Structure 1
Amino acid sequence: MPKSAPSSAPSPASTGTLTRRGLMFILSSPSGAGKTTVSRMLLEHDPDICISVSCTTRPPRPGEIDGKDYHFVSRAEFDRMVADEEFLEWAEVFGNCYGTPKAQVKAGLKEGQDYLFDIDWQGTQQLYQKLERDVVRVFLLPPSIDELRRRLTGRGTDSADVIAGRMDRARSEISHWDGYDYVVVNDDIQACFEKVKKILEAERLRRARQTGLIGFVRELMQPGG
Protein backbone atom coordinates (compact mmCIF):
# COMPACT_ATOMS: atom_id res chain seq x y z
CA MET A 1 0.00 0.00 0.00
CA PRO A 2 1.46 3.40 -0.94
CA LYS A 3 2.25 5.80 1.81
CA SER A 4 0.01 8.80 2.17
CA ALA A 5 1.48 12.16 1.26
CA PRO A 6 2.98 13.97 4.22
CA SER A 7 1.00 16.88 5.57
CA SER A 8 2.28 20.32 4.61
CA ALA A 9 1.56 21.59 8.13
CA PRO A 10 4.25 21.07 10.79
CA SER A 11 3.42 18.44 13.38
CA PRO A 12 2.78 19.32 17.04
CA ALA A 13 5.84 17.30 18.03
CA SER A 14 8.08 19.31 15.70
CA THR A 15 6.73 22.71 16.74
CA GLY A 16 6.07 22.08 20.43
CA THR A 17 2.59 23.57 20.09
CA LEU A 18 -0.51 21.85 21.40
CA THR A 19 -4.18 22.33 20.75
CA ARG A 20 -5.78 23.57 23.95
CA ARG A 21 -9.34 24.11 25.11
CA GLY A 22 -9.99 27.59 26.49
CA LEU A 23 -10.93 28.35 30.07
CA MET A 24 -13.22 30.70 31.96
CA PHE A 25 -11.12 32.64 34.45
CA ILE A 26 -13.29 34.17 37.16
CA LEU A 27 -12.16 37.00 39.43
CA SER A 28 -14.49 37.89 42.28
CA SER A 29 -14.11 40.17 45.27
CA PRO A 30 -16.14 42.56 47.37
CA SER A 31 -16.28 46.09 45.98
CA GLY A 32 -12.96 47.81 46.66
CA ALA A 33 -10.87 44.63 47.00
CA GLY A 34 -9.25 44.95 43.59
CA LYS A 35 -10.90 42.65 41.05
CA THR A 36 -11.48 45.41 38.49
CA THR A 37 -7.88 46.65 38.74
CA VAL A 38 -6.40 43.15 38.53
CA SER A 39 -8.71 42.33 35.61
CA ARG A 40 -7.48 45.39 33.74
CA MET A 41 -3.85 44.50 34.41
CA LEU A 42 -4.41 40.95 33.19
CA LEU A 43 -6.01 42.15 29.96
CA GLU A 44 -3.16 44.62 29.37
CA HIS A 45 -0.39 42.07 29.92
CA ASP A 46 -1.88 38.87 28.48
CA PRO A 47 -2.94 38.88 24.81
CA ASP A 48 -4.41 35.37 25.08
CA ILE A 49 -7.31 36.28 27.33
CA CYS A 50 -10.24 38.56 26.60
CA ILE A 51 -13.06 39.97 28.67
CA SER A 52 -16.46 38.36 28.44
CA VAL A 53 -18.81 41.18 27.40
CA SER A 54 -21.97 40.97 29.50
CA CYS A 55 -25.45 42.23 28.82
CA THR A 56 -26.83 44.73 31.29
CA THR A 57 -29.99 46.74 31.85
CA ARG A 58 -28.18 49.65 33.49
CA PRO A 59 -27.59 52.81 31.42
CA PRO A 60 -24.11 53.43 29.98
CA ARG A 61 -21.70 55.46 32.07
CA PRO A 62 -19.68 58.26 30.47
CA GLY A 63 -17.14 56.79 28.05
CA GLU A 64 -18.64 53.28 27.94
CA ILE A 65 -19.18 51.78 24.50
CA ASP A 66 -22.01 49.43 23.62
CA GLY A 67 -20.62 46.05 22.56
CA LYS A 68 -17.21 46.71 24.10
CA ASP A 69 -17.86 47.46 27.76
CA TYR A 70 -21.35 45.92 27.87
CA HIS A 71 -24.23 45.04 25.64
CA PHE A 72 -26.79 47.58 26.89
CA VAL A 73 -30.32 46.19 26.60
CA SER A 74 -33.78 47.02 27.91
CA ARG A 75 -35.28 45.10 30.81
CA ALA A 76 -37.83 43.59 28.43
CA GLU A 77 -35.08 42.32 26.11
CA PHE A 78 -33.09 41.00 29.06
CA ASP A 79 -36.14 39.12 30.37
CA ARG A 80 -36.67 37.61 26.91
CA MET A 81 -33.06 36.39 26.84
CA VAL A 82 -33.50 34.83 30.28
CA ALA A 83 -36.67 33.07 29.13
CA ASP A 84 -34.90 31.78 25.99
CA GLU A 85 -31.96 30.51 28.12
CA GLU A 86 -29.44 32.65 26.24
CA PHE A 87 -27.31 33.32 29.35
CA LEU A 88 -24.69 31.15 31.00
CA GLU A 89 -25.37 33.13 34.16
CA TRP A 90 -27.26 36.23 35.18
CA ALA A 91 -28.00 38.19 38.33
CA GLU A 92 -29.68 41.35 39.55
CA VAL A 93 -27.36 43.72 41.45
CA PHE A 94 -28.48 47.04 42.95
CA GLY A 95 -31.59 47.01 40.75
CA ASN A 96 -29.74 46.31 37.48
CA CYS A 97 -29.44 42.99 35.67
CA TYR A 98 -26.23 41.49 34.27
CA GLY A 99 -25.86 38.34 32.18
CA THR A 100 -23.23 36.39 30.22
CA PRO A 101 -24.32 35.42 26.66
CA LYS A 102 -23.91 31.70 26.10
CA ALA A 103 -23.29 31.12 22.38
CA GLN A 104 -20.16 33.23 21.87
CA VAL A 105 -18.38 31.94 24.97
CA LYS A 106 -19.01 28.25 24.24
CA ALA A 107 -17.77 28.64 20.66
CA GLY A 108 -14.65 30.47 21.82
CA LEU A 109 -13.75 27.87 24.43
CA LYS A 110 -13.81 25.17 21.76
CA GLU A 111 -11.34 27.21 19.70
CA GLY A 112 -8.97 27.69 22.64
CA GLN A 113 -10.00 31.21 23.65
CA ASP A 114 -9.66 32.15 27.32
CA TYR A 115 -12.29 34.42 28.86
CA LEU A 116 -12.02 36.67 31.89
CA PHE A 117 -15.07 37.16 34.10
CA ASP A 118 -15.41 39.96 36.64
CA ILE A 119 -18.52 38.67 38.42
CA ASP A 120 -19.90 38.00 41.90
CA TRP A 121 -20.32 34.70 43.72
CA GLN A 122 -23.84 34.13 42.38
CA GLY A 123 -22.67 34.32 38.79
CA THR A 124 -19.70 32.15 39.66
CA GLN A 125 -21.97 29.43 41.02
CA GLN A 126 -24.10 29.46 37.88
CA LEU A 127 -21.08 29.21 35.57
CA TYR A 128 -19.57 26.40 37.63
CA GLN A 129 -22.80 24.42 37.62
CA LYS A 130 -23.06 24.63 33.81
CA LEU A 131 -19.43 24.40 32.66
CA GLU A 132 -17.48 23.06 35.63
CA ARG A 133 -14.48 21.71 33.71
CA ASP A 134 -13.88 25.05 31.99
CA VAL A 135 -14.09 27.25 35.09
CA VAL A 136 -11.25 28.55 37.28
CA ARG A 137 -12.48 30.52 40.33
CA VAL A 138 -10.30 33.11 42.07
CA PHE A 139 -11.46 35.23 45.01
CA LEU A 140 -9.63 38.37 46.13
CA LEU A 141 -9.78 39.41 49.77
CA PRO A 142 -8.86 42.79 51.29
CA PRO A 143 -6.12 42.73 53.95
CA SER A 144 -8.64 43.99 56.52
CA ILE A 145 -12.20 45.31 56.73
CA ASP A 146 -10.86 48.71 57.79
CA GLU A 147 -8.68 48.89 54.68
CA LEU A 148 -11.66 47.98 52.53
CA ARG A 149 -13.67 50.82 54.07
CA ARG A 150 -10.76 53.20 53.51
CA ARG A 151 -10.55 52.26 49.83
CA LEU A 152 -14.29 52.75 49.30
CA THR A 153 -14.25 56.08 51.09
CA GLY A 154 -11.14 57.19 49.21
CA ARG A 155 -12.91 56.95 45.87
CA GLY A 156 -14.91 60.02 46.80
CA THR A 157 -17.79 58.95 44.56
CA ASP A 158 -20.29 57.50 47.03
CA SER A 159 -22.30 58.89 49.93
CA ALA A 160 -21.93 57.52 53.45
CA ASP A 161 -25.19 55.56 53.05
CA VAL A 162 -23.98 53.98 49.81
CA ILE A 163 -20.65 53.04 51.40
CA ALA A 164 -22.47 51.50 54.37
CA GLY A 165 -24.52 49.42 51.94
CA ARG A 166 -21.40 48.32 50.07
CA MET A 167 -19.75 47.30 53.34
CA ASP A 168 -22.75 45.17 54.30
CA ARG A 169 -22.69 43.55 50.88
CA ALA A 170 -18.92 43.04 51.16
CA ARG A 171 -19.30 41.03 54.37
CA SER A 172 -21.92 38.87 52.66
CA GLU A 173 -19.68 38.30 49.63
CA ILE A 174 -16.66 37.47 51.77
CA SER A 175 -18.66 34.69 53.43
CA HIS A 176 -18.58 32.79 50.12
CA TRP A 177 -14.78 32.64 49.91
CA ASP A 178 -14.75 28.86 50.31
CA GLY A 179 -16.67 28.40 47.04
CA TYR A 180 -13.53 29.30 45.06
CA ASP A 181 -10.52 27.32 43.86
CA TYR A 182 -8.01 30.01 44.85
CA VAL A 183 -8.07 32.82 47.41
CA VAL A 184 -5.58 35.72 47.21
CA VAL A 185 -5.23 38.52 49.77
CA ASN A 186 -4.76 41.82 47.98
CA ASP A 187 -2.48 43.76 50.33
CA ASP A 188 -0.32 44.95 47.42
CA ILE A 189 -1.81 45.28 43.94
CA GLN A 190 1.33 44.28 42.01
CA ALA A 191 2.02 41.25 44.20
CA CYS A 192 -1.64 40.26 43.93
CA PHE A 193 -1.49 40.53 40.14
CA GLU A 194 1.62 38.35 39.97
CA LYS A 195 -0.10 35.63 42.00
CA VAL A 196 -3.21 35.74 39.82
CA LYS A 197 -1.06 35.57 36.69
CA LYS A 198 0.70 32.44 38.00
CA ILE A 199 -2.65 30.80 38.68
CA LEU A 200 -3.75 31.45 35.10
CA GLU A 201 -0.48 30.12 33.68
CA ALA A 202 -0.72 26.92 35.72
CA GLU A 203 -4.37 26.31 34.84
CA ARG A 204 -3.60 26.58 31.13
CA LEU A 205 -1.20 23.65 31.53
CA ARG A 206 -3.71 21.26 33.10
CA ARG A 207 -3.61 17.94 31.27
CA ALA A 208 -7.40 17.88 30.82
CA ARG A 209 -7.24 21.14 28.83
CA GLN A 210 -4.48 19.96 26.49
CA THR A 211 -6.80 18.48 23.87
CA GLY A 212 -3.91 17.84 21.48
CA LEU A 213 -1.80 16.00 24.04
CA ILE A 214 -2.73 12.43 23.07
CA GLY A 215 -1.73 12.88 19.44
CA PHE A 216 1.40 14.76 20.46
CA VAL A 217 2.58 11.98 22.78
CA ARG A 218 1.77 9.26 20.24
CA GLU A 219 3.91 11.03 17.67
CA LEU A 220 6.77 11.34 20.14
CA MET A 221 6.62 7.57 20.71
CA GLN A 222 6.78 6.61 17.03
CA PRO A 223 9.81 4.43 16.21
CA GLY A 224 12.50 6.36 14.39
CA GLY A 225 10.94 9.69 15.35
Structure 2
Amino acid sequence: MNSSEPGTGVRARSRLTVVSGPSGVGKSTVVAELRRMDPSIFFSVSLTTRAQRPGEVDGSHYHFVDRARFDEMVAAQAFLEWAEYAGNRYGTPRRPVLEAIDSGRPAILEIELQGARQVRAAMPEAQLVMLVPPSWETLVGRLTGRGTEDPAVVAHRLAVAEKELDAQGEFDALVVNTDVKQAAGELLTLITGTAV
Protein backbone atom coordinates (compact mmCIF):
# COMPACT_ATOMS: atom_id res chain seq x y z
CA MET A 1 0.00 0.00 0.00
CA ASN A 2 1.27 3.42 -0.87
CA SER A 3 1.74 6.27 1.53
CA SER A 4 2.91 9.73 0.65
CA GLU A 5 4.66 12.74 2.07
CA PRO A 6 2.52 15.86 2.49
CA GLY A 7 2.57 17.98 -0.62
CA THR A 8 3.51 15.18 -3.06
CA GLY A 9 0.06 15.25 -4.64
CA VAL A 10 -0.37 11.49 -4.09
CA ARG A 11 -3.13 10.52 -1.70
CA ALA A 12 -2.12 8.63 1.40
CA ARG A 13 -5.04 6.26 0.98
CA SER A 14 -4.32 4.70 -2.40
CA ARG A 15 -5.97 1.38 -1.63
CA LEU A 16 -8.88 -0.65 -2.87
CA THR A 17 -12.35 0.13 -1.50
CA VAL A 18 -15.04 -2.47 -2.10
CA VAL A 19 -18.65 -1.26 -2.13
CA SER A 20 -21.24 -3.94 -1.51
CA GLY A 21 -24.83 -4.13 -0.37
CA PRO A 22 -28.12 -5.83 -1.12
CA SER A 23 -29.94 -5.66 -4.43
CA GLY A 24 -32.06 -2.51 -4.62
CA VAL A 25 -29.95 -0.46 -2.20
CA GLY A 26 -28.68 1.82 -5.00
CA LYS A 27 -25.03 0.76 -5.37
CA SER A 28 -24.78 1.66 -9.06
CA THR A 29 -26.46 5.05 -8.56
CA VAL A 30 -24.21 6.00 -5.64
CA VAL A 31 -21.06 4.83 -7.45
CA ALA A 32 -22.09 6.80 -10.56
CA GLU A 33 -22.43 9.93 -8.39
CA LEU A 34 -19.04 9.20 -6.81
CA ARG A 35 -17.49 8.99 -10.29
CA ARG A 36 -18.96 12.39 -11.09
CA MET A 37 -17.62 13.87 -7.83
CA ASP A 38 -14.06 12.54 -8.25
CA PRO A 39 -13.10 11.20 -11.69
CA SER A 40 -9.51 10.61 -10.52
CA ILE A 41 -10.56 7.48 -8.58
CA PHE A 42 -9.96 4.26 -10.52
CA PHE A 43 -13.19 2.36 -11.12
CA SER A 44 -12.68 -1.31 -11.84
CA VAL A 45 -14.60 -2.71 -14.83
CA SER A 46 -15.61 -6.35 -14.44
CA LEU A 47 -15.40 -9.06 -17.07
CA THR A 48 -18.48 -11.09 -17.90
CA THR A 49 -19.44 -13.99 -20.11
CA ARG A 50 -22.99 -12.72 -20.54
CA ALA A 51 -24.16 -11.19 -23.80
CA GLN A 52 -23.76 -7.45 -24.30
CA ARG A 53 -27.08 -5.64 -23.87
CA PRO A 54 -28.27 -2.77 -26.07
CA GLY A 55 -26.68 0.50 -24.94
CA GLU A 56 -23.81 -1.17 -23.09
CA VAL A 57 -20.28 -0.19 -24.07
CA ASP A 58 -17.54 -2.83 -23.97
CA GLY A 59 -14.84 -1.63 -21.60
CA SER A 60 -17.17 0.84 -19.87
CA HIS A 61 -20.03 -1.22 -18.47
CA TYR A 62 -18.19 -4.56 -18.66
CA HIS A 63 -15.46 -6.25 -20.62
CA PHE A 64 -17.38 -8.90 -22.57
CA VAL A 65 -15.50 -12.18 -23.08
CA ASP A 66 -16.38 -15.76 -23.97
CA ARG A 67 -16.33 -18.57 -21.42
CA ALA A 68 -13.07 -20.02 -22.76
CA ARG A 69 -11.24 -16.73 -22.20
CA PHE A 70 -12.79 -16.36 -18.76
CA ASP A 71 -11.69 -19.91 -17.83
CA GLU A 72 -8.13 -19.13 -18.98
CA MET A 73 -8.08 -16.11 -16.67
CA VAL A 74 -9.41 -18.16 -13.74
CA ALA A 75 -6.67 -20.74 -14.32
CA ALA A 76 -4.04 -17.97 -14.46
CA GLN A 77 -5.38 -16.50 -11.18
CA ALA A 78 -5.98 -13.22 -13.02
CA PHE A 79 -9.07 -12.33 -10.95
CA LEU A 80 -9.30 -10.74 -7.52
CA GLU A 81 -12.70 -12.38 -7.31
CA TRP A 82 -15.18 -14.08 -9.59
CA ALA A 83 -18.58 -15.70 -9.34
CA GLU A 84 -21.27 -17.32 -11.45
CA TYR A 85 -24.74 -15.81 -11.41
CA ALA A 86 -27.74 -16.87 -13.51
CA GLY A 87 -25.52 -18.98 -15.77
CA ASN A 88 -23.02 -16.21 -16.51
CA ARG A 89 -19.64 -15.51 -14.95
CA TYR A 90 -18.45 -12.16 -13.59
CA GLY A 91 -14.96 -11.33 -12.39
CA THR A 92 -12.69 -8.48 -11.32
CA PRO A 93 -9.34 -8.45 -13.14
CA ARG A 94 -6.49 -8.19 -10.63
CA ARG A 95 -3.82 -6.33 -12.63
CA PRO A 96 -5.61 -3.01 -13.42
CA VAL A 97 -6.59 -2.61 -9.75
CA LEU A 98 -3.04 -3.25 -8.52
CA GLU A 99 -1.56 -0.94 -11.18
CA ALA A 100 -3.90 1.89 -10.13
CA ILE A 101 -3.02 1.46 -6.46
CA ASP A 102 0.71 1.24 -7.23
CA SER A 103 0.44 4.51 -9.17
CA GLY A 104 -1.09 6.22 -6.12
CA ARG A 105 -4.75 6.21 -7.22
CA PRO A 106 -7.43 4.89 -4.88
CA ALA A 107 -9.51 2.18 -6.56
CA ILE A 108 -13.15 1.24 -6.11
CA LEU A 109 -14.98 -1.95 -6.88
CA GLU A 110 -18.76 -2.44 -6.76
CA ILE A 111 -19.59 -6.11 -6.16
CA GLU A 112 -21.84 -8.47 -4.26
CA LEU A 113 -21.14 -9.99 -0.85
CA GLN A 114 -19.59 -13.21 -2.19
CA GLY A 115 -17.06 -11.19 -4.19
CA ALA A 116 -16.36 -8.86 -1.27
CA ARG A 117 -15.43 -11.89 0.84
CA GLN A 118 -13.07 -13.12 -1.87
CA VAL A 119 -11.39 -9.71 -2.07
CA ARG A 120 -11.00 -9.65 1.72
CA ALA A 121 -9.17 -12.99 1.50
CA ALA A 122 -6.99 -11.88 -1.45
CA MET A 123 -6.30 -8.31 -0.22
CA PRO A 124 -6.78 -8.03 3.54
CA GLU A 125 -5.76 -4.36 3.39
CA ALA A 126 -8.78 -3.52 1.18
CA GLN A 127 -11.51 -1.40 2.78
CA LEU A 128 -14.96 -2.99 2.68
CA VAL A 129 -17.95 -0.63 2.78
CA MET A 130 -21.54 -1.83 2.90
CA LEU A 131 -24.21 0.42 1.44
CA VAL A 132 -27.40 -0.09 3.45
CA PRO A 133 -30.97 1.20 3.11
CA PRO A 134 -32.41 3.64 5.65
CA SER A 135 -34.83 0.87 6.69
CA TRP A 136 -35.87 -2.64 5.72
CA GLU A 137 -39.25 -1.24 4.59
CA THR A 138 -37.46 1.14 2.19
CA LEU A 139 -35.57 -1.75 0.61
CA VAL A 140 -38.74 -3.85 0.30
CA GLY A 141 -40.43 -0.88 -1.40
CA ARG A 142 -37.55 -0.48 -3.86
CA LEU A 143 -37.55 -4.17 -4.76
CA THR A 144 -41.33 -4.52 -5.07
CA GLY A 145 -42.16 -1.03 -6.36
CA ARG A 146 -41.56 -1.76 -10.03
CA GLY A 147 -44.25 -4.44 -10.10
CA THR A 148 -42.66 -5.97 -13.20
CA GLU A 149 -41.08 -9.03 -11.60
CA ASP A 150 -42.55 -12.35 -10.57
CA PRO A 151 -43.40 -12.37 -6.83
CA ALA A 152 -41.23 -15.48 -6.35
CA VAL A 153 -38.22 -13.62 -7.80
CA VAL A 154 -38.86 -10.66 -5.49
CA ALA A 155 -39.21 -13.00 -2.49
CA HIS A 156 -35.88 -14.64 -3.37
CA ARG A 157 -34.17 -11.24 -3.69
CA LEU A 158 -35.53 -10.16 -0.32
CA ALA A 159 -34.30 -13.38 1.31
CA VAL A 160 -30.82 -12.82 -0.19
CA ALA A 161 -30.88 -9.15 0.86
CA GLU A 162 -31.67 -10.16 4.44
CA LYS A 163 -28.65 -12.51 4.51
CA GLU A 164 -26.43 -9.80 3.02
CA LEU A 165 -27.53 -7.24 5.62
CA ASP A 166 -26.79 -9.82 8.33
CA ALA A 167 -23.13 -9.72 7.17
CA GLN A 168 -22.66 -6.04 8.17
CA GLY A 169 -20.18 -7.04 10.86
CA GLU A 170 -17.74 -8.22 8.17
CA PHE A 171 -17.42 -4.68 6.79
CA ASP A 172 -15.15 -1.83 7.86
CA ALA A 173 -17.82 0.86 7.44
CA LEU A 174 -21.51 1.29 6.67
CA VAL A 175 -23.00 4.06 4.53
CA VAL A 176 -26.76 4.60 4.72
CA ASN A 177 -28.25 5.48 1.33
CA THR A 178 -30.94 7.95 2.36
CA ASP A 179 -29.75 10.52 -0.19
CA VAL A 180 -27.53 9.62 -3.18
CA LYS A 181 -25.29 12.73 -3.02
CA GLN A 182 -24.83 12.43 0.71
CA ALA A 183 -24.03 8.70 0.47
CA ALA A 184 -21.54 9.33 -2.35
CA GLY A 185 -19.94 12.10 -0.29
CA GLU A 186 -19.57 9.79 2.73
CA LEU A 187 -18.07 7.14 0.50
CA LEU A 188 -15.62 9.65 -0.98
CA THR A 189 -14.54 10.65 2.54
CA LEU A 190 -13.92 6.98 3.40
CA ILE A 191 -11.87 6.52 0.21
CA THR A 192 -9.75 9.67 0.38
CA GLY A 193 -9.67 10.31 4.11
CA THR A 194 -10.72 13.92 3.56
CA ALA A 195 -14.11 15.49 4.16
CA VAL A 196 -16.12 16.56 1.13
* Amino acid across the alignment from 1:73: V
Relative distance call for 1:108 and 1:197 in structure 2 (3 A) is: closer
Q: Which blocks of at least 5 consecutive residues in structure 1 are unaligned? A: 1-11, 205-225
Aligned to 2:163: 172
Q: Following superposition of structure 1 onto structure 2, how do residues 37-186 of structure 1 map, counting pairs within 5 Å?
A: 37-133=29-125, 135-186=126-177
Bigger Rg, structure 1 or 2: 1
Contact (CA 8 Å) 2:106, 2:192: kept in 1 or not?
no
The two structures have a TM-score, normalised by structure 2, of 0.87
| 2: CA distance, partners of 1:150 / 1:44 | 27
Deviation at 1:49, TM superposition (A): 0.7
Deviation at 1:192, TM superposition (A): 2.1
* Amino acid across the alignment from 1:165: H
| 2: CA distance, partners of 1:157 / 1:48 | 37
| 2: CA distance, partners of 1:203 / 1:124 | 24
Give the superposed CA RMSD: 2.1
Deviations 1:35-67 (A, max 9, x none): 111100000110221310111111122211111
The two structures have a TM-score, normalised by structure 1, of 0.77
Deviations 1:106-143 (A, max 9, x none): 1221111222111012211221222222x111101112
Deviation at 1:27, TM superposition (A): 0.9
| 2: CA distance, partners of 1:20 / 1:199 | 12
| 1: CA distance, partners of 2:86 / 2:166 | 19
| 1: CA distance, partners of 2:112 / 2:176 | 17
Identity across matched positions, percent: 42
Deviation at 1:157, TM superposition (A): 4.5
SS of residue in 2 equivalent to 1:108? helix
SS of residue in 2 equivalent to 1:132? coil
| 2: CA distance, partners of 1:193 / 1:38 | 5
* Amino acid across the alignment from 2:171: Y
Relative distance call for 1:66 and 1:166 in structure 2 (3 A) is: same
Relative distance call for 1:60 and 1:78 in structure 2 (3 A) is: same
More helix by share: 1
| 2: CA distance, partners of 1:85 / 1:27 | 22
Q: Which blocks of at least 5 consecutive residues in structure 2 are unaligned? A: none
Contact (CA 8 Å) 2:33, 2:180: kept in 1 or not?
no
* Amino acid across the alignment from 2:128: R
| 1: CA distance, partners of 2:79 / 2:117 | 13
